[in-house]
Structure 1
């Protein structure tokens, strides 16, 4: 199980970012938070998610030429980190282009 978790950790980080962004928008809009505050928190969450995914990708990048048993896991982690970075970016596009609370 730890082998599978290490290879899919970047995708789990992307999923957590996706869920937390949309949950925070729903709670923030219901509570009447300002749009500037919501976007600032989303920007901070995105920066944290991208830093986390980049660290996981860098770790896999450094280990991808290692011994044969772990090479596939590290390559999967590296590809997953690239996919997760694109996913975090695509998650933020509608949040920045559209109004956050839709008022």
Structure 2
């Protein structure tokens, strides 16, 4: 039987990659808005950041929802990869929510 290493690796770490992409994208977007030659002068606009956050949270929630059937149906046969996929989805959801907290308090570019 052929093991699909990279498929399993992505399954276990995809929520963390979504969190990392959200984190990097948030900083890039705010830096682009706050630079002197930015695409939008003035304070950072919250709508693109909020949309990016909602999409990232929805992806992590969908990944966590996809793993729930394993725990409902499973018993002792629940594998470590199933636990990793579920817990990294929850961790990434909390991380994205925590990373987006400054979004609501930023009034202007420094």
TM range (shorter): 0.7 to 0.9
Shift in CA distance, 100/3, structure 1 to aligned 2, threshold 3 Å: farther
**Separation in 2 of the partners of 1:10 and 1:100?**
30
Following TM superposition, the consecutive aligned residue runs of length 4 or more in structure 1 with deviations greater than 3 angstroms are 64-67
Within the candidate set 6, 29, 49, 2:34 is matched to 29
Shift in CA distance, 100/76, structure 1 to aligned 2, threshold 3 Å: farther
Give the match's secondary structure for 2:107.
coil
Gapped regions of structure 1 (runs ≥ 5): none
Give the aligned CA root-mean-square deviation in angstroms.
1.9
| Higher Rg of the two aligned structures | 2
Within the candidate set 32, 35, 53, 2:60 is matched to 53
Q: Which residue of 2 aligns with 1:93?
A: 101
Question: Which one has the bigger helix percentage?
Answer: 1
Q: Please give the per-residue CA displacement for 1:21-63, whole angstroms capped at 9, x wherever unaligned.
A: 1001101112152436x20000000000000000001111122
Q: How many pairs does the alignment contain? A: 100
